[in-house]
Amino acid sequence: MVKPDIHTLAHHLKQERLYVASEKQLIQRLNNEVLKTAERLYRTAWIAKQQRINLDRLILTSAEASPAECCQHAKVLEDTQFVDGYKTLGFQESIYGEFLGRLRENPRLVASCLVAGERLNHEHTQGVIHTVFTSLYGNCIMQEDECYLLQVLRYLVEFELKESDNPRRMLRRGTCAFSILFKLFSEGLYSAKLFLTATLHEPIMQLLVEDEDHLETDPAKLIERFTPAQQERLFGEKGTDEYRRKVQAAVEANEAKLVALVNTFIGYLRQNTYCFPQSLRWIMSQMYKTLAHVERLEVGEVRTMCTDLLLTCFICPAIVNPEQYGIISDAPINEVARFNLMQVGQLLQQLAMSDADDGDPRRKSSLSKFDKTCVAAFLDVVIGGRAVETPPMSSMNLLEGLARTVVYMTHNQLLALVDFVRSVTAGDQLREEDHLALETLLANVPQSRTTKSNSLELTPSNTPQLSPATTPANKKNRLPIGLNQLFHPTKSSKKCI
**In angstroms, rounded to a whole number, what is the distance separating the alpha carbons of residues 379 and 200?**
17
* pLDDT on residue 365: 65
Give φ, ψ of 165 to 5 degrees.
-70, -30
Low-confidence ranges of the chain (pLDDT < 50): 357, 451-482, 484-497
* pLDDT on residue 211: 67
pTM: 0.81
* pLDDT on residue 477: 31
**In angstroms, rounded to a whole number, what is the distance separating the alpha carbons of residues 83 and 372?**
56
* pLDDT on residue 436: 93
* pLDDT on residue 116: 94
